[in-house]
Structure 1
């Protein structure tokens, strides 16, 4: 039995999950046209499920999600993988705790990326979800694993599940694809709020000890057991 066959049921489930999660990107105004993508790691195999390149969000279906290996080679599917697949694959290969990756060009967060400026931790929501400022990663061209290298190098040094890739957009990670989508939604929300706050004056920083306490509570005590 091939690896693909052995995880066939899991891949079928992930295709449905990843297809459904793509609907959250336009619903939360994180993407336009066909830009942006969600992927999920396939547990038990060096594979990922991702959106095909250039397909409209209205046309996304579980059956047209594609499967690639962690070198971004197509393994299963009839369409070409997203142009960002190499970046996603590099993240999965080098951050084994990551189960989901999302990429968007959401307006406010990408505006910070265009300035090459991290989003400062001036809101409790930022402390909760990101554990500090949302960092900026290096400029890199699309087409190979250069973006993935920048994502990994930046996020290895941060608690943040989001990185603003300079002059490009947002990449988020999570233990699963849903968590990565949540981080993308929250990243855009706080990017907008902090931008508005700066129009009114200098936002007030939060003490590091309070950031740590907020992060610990949100990550370990918030929600249902």
Structure 2
């Protein structure tokens, strides 16, 4: 992880001057991405959060705790270091900040983290049951089943530890934390939000399929081919 040296020029608000433009851009991006959560019916009230790593520094942008989605402007976003300490902002960071920070500290390739309590994915987490890979879209995006992470209480980085331990053993960009709900990751905050949207869609579809009978698992070789194509060929 990159370290900001003591010699760096620092703005009065605590963000180094050389990172001001990057942090402001990320605040705008993260605020806009939060609007995608209620738009896609992934959250209610003030639950859920999106964060983005600040490239070139041990910092992240995340939403403040308990603030209405209608009030999540770029100016409302807060900046924390990767220990979860507030660096910029006049509101308390999200209650899930420690989990996000732990992911960034231990998965340096990750640039965005999202947490929701979306209905169907959270229902699977309440059962502590992985979502089986029975859809091509699951193979495309997640590379297999959606795994279940351990039960952990909010308050320290225990949730983050569970996320990292589970996802390191999987190609999935999503984990169902037991009795809690889904967390998704991505190379950027936008990719993590996309994963959260797609996760809820497949969680709902597989639930519907189970009402009709037993969904048929896909062959691992087919999952691998679909995942490789989607990750390396699909799109512009």
Question: Which category of TM-score, normalised to the shorter sequence, fits these structures?
Answer: over 0.9
Query: Equivalent residues in 2 for 1:164-175 (5 A)?
Result: 164-175=176-187
Q: Deviations over 1:114-149 (max 9, x none)?
A: 000000000000000000000000000001100000
TM-score norm. by structure 2 comes to 0.94
Offset, 1:157:
0.4
TM-score (norm 1): 0.99
> Are residue 16 (structure 1) and residue 28 (structure 2) matched?
yes
| Correspondences of 1:1-225 after superposition (within 5 Å) | 1-2=9-10, 4-224=16-236
What RMSD over aligned residues (CA atoms) do the two structures have, in Å?
Answer: 0.6
Spell out, residue by residue over 1:178-222, the C-alpha distance to the aligned partner (whole angstroms, 9 max, x if none). Answer: 000000000000000000000000001100000000000000000
Structure 2 gap ranges (5+): 1-8
Inter-partner Cα distance in structure 1 for 2:17 and 2:133: 45
| Equivalent residue number for residue 3 of structure 2 | none
Q: Partners of 2:130 and 2:138 in 1: how far apart?
A: 12
Unaligned runs of 5+ in 1: none
Deviation at 1:6, TM superposition (A): 1.9
Q: CA deviation at 1:5?
A: 1.9
What is the CA distance between 1:109 and its match in structure 2?
A: 0.3
Aligned counterparts of 1:206 and 1:147: Cα–Cα separation in 2: 30
CA drift at 1:4 = 2.3
